[in-house]
Structure 1
Amino acid sequence: MSVNTQQSGKTWPYRLLKLRAITALVFGRREQAEQIFDEMLRRWPQDSYALASRAHLRSQRGARAQAIADLQALVALAPQRSAGDWFNLAYLLEAESRLEEAEAAFRHAVALDAKLDRAWYGLGLCLIRMQRFEEALAALKRNTELQPMSPYGWYQLARVHVDRQEPDEARRIIAHLKGFEPKVAAQLERETGLLA
């Protein structure tokens, strides 16, 4: 049997299951959709779509360990497929305080897509939790370069400067934030006692 014949034999059953899963999701039947993804993965264990979809559903219902396992299988299957896959894995690992693994996954995400601002932000948060402030500064600076109008990176950047006993740098960031996010700037002033 040729490869094309084998693939065409998979096509209709696969498409039907995928359509059933999408329909279940449209009608809010997440448990049913997850069961369909289970069936797809029993039949096609290396299916990226089913792995990513099931991981998402598992994450939503709080089954982080299972979602992490699916995402680990996904990135092992296709390490260069998507920076987003690595980000999703890193995000869940960080939430589970598996910081070294999270750092590695965030770094893989930014290696695949250097403009993935949320991965730079996540990497910065992860490094802060590991008290590696110098590296956190670099990651958060990259995040603020990519998302200059988002206050989140700037807020964390100011906090790192405070932790490093660099009040002048923190004041500079607070002053910058006053130009477009005065509430965040005021929050930083209250939390740090620093006035811009």
Structure 2
Amino acid sequence: MGRRWFIALGALLLWIGGCRRPEGPTALGRRPERVVPAEARRLNNLGVAMLDVERTRREAIPLFQEALKRAPHFVEARINLGLALFFNQRAAEAVPVLEQAVREAPFSPHAHYALAHAYRALGRTEEALEHFRQVTELAPQDSYAWYYYGVSLSRAHRFQESIQALRKAVELDPVNVSALYNLAQTLGRAGQREEAARVMERFVALKEAGEGTMTTEAGLSYLEQGPYAEAIPVVLSPEEVPPRRVQARWAVAQTFAPVPTEVKREGAWAERVLRGEPVAPEELLSRRAEVVALWGQGVAWGDYDNDGDPDLYLCAPRRLLRNDGGKWTDVTSQAGLTHRDRTTAALWGDFDDDRDEDLYLLNDGPNRLYRNNGDGTFTDVTQEAGVAGPPQVWSVGGAWADVDHDGDLDLYVCNYVDWGERPQAPQVRFPQDWPGAPNLLFRNRAIHPQPGAPSAG
């Protein structure tokens, strides 16, 4: 693991960002037969985004309705409208919409699955069962479909069929605690008490293992009922995106005089480290600043002053450059960003939802969060927010994202090595032989994170 690791991390994050939901032919079970106008697709995709966030979920309904007005044959938008109605507690209105979607796309697991949930919410168990059954045939590897099929069979007192379906759900997803619990309950109702006890033991063990154990659990909210209960985005091809005239102004290189490095580098020693040759652990610790510099430091673009121009934070010299229409001004001191950390990367993001870009700095050592005051200055709120991370850990990257879909940004931090865990060997290769540090996910508990708010680990 070396400098190439950073490039691989960036590629991985981009790949993850592009792999969220099935689209188009996958969602419908066939390739669309008619061309959908670009504006209808745009409205559909905007509705998908609105549905993702609880506080904007109602706003998704008129967007899908407008998309259907522009393209009445747009099946994805019809399925999405049904889902939006269902997750806004309007199941009775969702049923006719989704029944039409099933007629238009009879091989779509999305359509059958959404309709089954709407029927289930209205107590129409037999109709729900039929559509859950069809999903298990159309998408036999989807554990959620088997789970809800099994639960519905159990409620219909068809216990042996329910046990088979729930066993299939557990086989496909062994850490699905909802499936394990319902399987144990159904086995008990069917008189199979010994197996019920064994399954319940597995359920309890997973629940007691805590947040460090990966589990899945079916819930009642959007994004808790499996991939076929998620709205379907439709990709716009590049030629359908309206062209814009963009004037790029690049004057960063001429903005300030070259910054002298604060780290002295001895070429021979640096080359040894970069080649992965063994060196003494105490030597690495004493030259820790040099090691960080060898691995490189980044930059981050963000419009911190909301003037429409992207500003630039430089991690190595710890400088904030304000973009004034293509002219650059060093505003580090007046902004209050006077820390002396060894910063590897920076993330702009509005964590407190006040429409100003805040700044999170990933350091060799404790990280730092600055709240944007909206007047050109920043306040260090690291301790208040509880996002410093371990003091001896070197953080190298991360991302803001609304992980729990509650409307505010959560924080994922990618860590590299833990300097506090010194290897006992007299000679080590770096970083191969140095203990790594686990990544961290900090959940934003409120608009202003509370002190000591626990992370997701």
Q: CA deviation at 1:176?
A: 3.3
Task: Answer with 116-125 or 146-155: which moved more.
Answer: 146-155
Q: Quick check: 1:54 aligned with 2:81?
A: yes
What is the rounded CA distance, in whole Å, between the counterparts of 2:149 and 2:190 in structure 1?
18
What is the rounded CA distance, in whole Å, between the counterparts of 2:173 and 2:106 in structure 1?
26
- When residues 158 and 39 of structure 1 are mapped into structure 2, their CA distance, relative to the original with a 3 A threshold, is same
- When residues 125 and 31 of structure 1 are mapped into structure 2, their CA distance, relative to the original with a 3 A threshold, is closer
- The sequence identity of aligned pairs, in percent, is 27
Larger Rg: 2
Cα displacement string for residues 86-143 of structure 1 (whole angstroms, at most 9, x for unaligned residues) = 2222122112111111011001101111011001010011111110001001100100
Q: What's the TM-score, normalizing by structure 1?
A: 0.76
Structure with higher strand content: 2
Which runs of 5 or more structure 2 residues have no equivalent in the other structure? Answer: 1-33, 210-457
SS in 2 for 1:181: helix
Residue 163 of structure 2 corresponds to 137
- Structure with larger RCO (C-alpha < 8 A, sep 6+): 2
Q: Quick check: 1:105 aligned with 2:150?
A: no
Q: Quick check: 1:89 aligned with 2:118?
A: no
Q: Which AA in structure 1 matches 2:185?
A: R
Q: CA deviation at 1:78?
A: 0.8
Residue 67 of structure 2 corresponds to 40
Q: Quick check: 1:68 aligned with 2:90?
A: no
Q: Quick check: 1:79 aligned with 2:75?
A: no
Task: Please tell me whether the aligned partners of residues 37 and 71 of structure 2 are also in contact (alpha carbons under 8 angstroms).
Answer: no
- When residues 70 and 165 of structure 1 are mapped into structure 2, their CA distance, relative to the original with a 3 A threshold, is same
- When residues 13 and 118 of structure 1 are mapped into structure 2, their CA distance, relative to the original with a 3 A threshold, is closer
SS in 1 for 2:79: helix
What is the rounded CA distance, in whole Å, between the counterparts of 1:135 and 1:13 in structure 2?
46
Task: Please tell me whether the aligned partners of residues 166 and 182 of structure 2 are also in contact (alpha carbons under 8 angstroms).
Answer: yes
What is the rounded CA distance, in whole Å, between the counterparts of 1:26 and 1:107 in structure 2?
27
What is the rounded CA distance, in whole Å, between the counterparts of 1:182 and 1:147 in structure 2?
18
Task: Answer with 170-179 or 87-96: which moved more.
Answer: 170-179
- When residues 46 and 137 of structure 1 are mapped into structure 2, their CA distance, relative to the original with a 3 A threshold, is same
What is the rounded CA distance, in whole Å, between the counterparts of 1:182 and 1:22 in structure 2?
35
SS in 1 for 2:206: coil
Task: Answer with 112-121 or 156-165: which moved more.
Answer: 156-165
Residue 176 of structure 2 corresponds to 150
Residue 4 of structure 1 corresponds to none
What is the rounded CA distance, in whole Å, between the counterparts of 2:73 and 2:168 in structure 1?
34
What is the rounded CA distance, in whole Å, between the counterparts of 2:196 and 2:56 in structure 1?
48
Task: Answer with 26-35 or 70-79: which moved more.
Answer: 26-35
Cα displacement string for residues 14-52 of structure 1 (whole angstroms, at most 9, x for unaligned residues) = 356446656866896555542232233234222112212
Aligned residues: 175
- When residues 179 and 102 of structure 1 are mapped into structure 2, their CA distance, relative to the original with a 3 A threshold, is same
Q: CA deviation at 1:71?
A: 1.5
What is the rounded CA distance, in whole Å, between the counterparts of 2:84 and 2:168 in structure 1?
31
Residue 190 of structure 1 corresponds to none
What is the rounded CA distance, in whole Å, between the counterparts of 1:45 and 1:126 in structure 2?
33
Task: Answer with 115-124 or 29-38: which moved more.
Answer: 29-38
Q: What's the TM-score, normalizing by structure 2?
A: 0.35
SS in 2 for 1:45: coil
SS in 1 for 2:110: helix
What is the rounded CA distance, in whole Å, between the counterparts of 1:42 and 1:78 in structure 2?
18
What is the rounded CA distance, in whole Å, between the counterparts of 1:139 and 1:76 in structure 2?
26
Q: Which AA in structure 2 matches 1:60?
A: F
Residue 201 of structure 2 corresponds to 175
- When residues 165 and 46 of structure 1 are mapped into structure 2, their CA distance, relative to the original with a 3 A threshold, is same
What is the rounded CA distance, in whole Å, between the counterparts of 1:180 and 1:19 in structure 2?
37
Task: Answer with 58-67 or 137-146: which moved more.
Answer: 58-67
Q: Which AA in structure 2 matches 1:115?
A: Q
Which runs of 5 or more structure 1 residues have no equivalent in the other structure? Answer: 1-6, 184-196
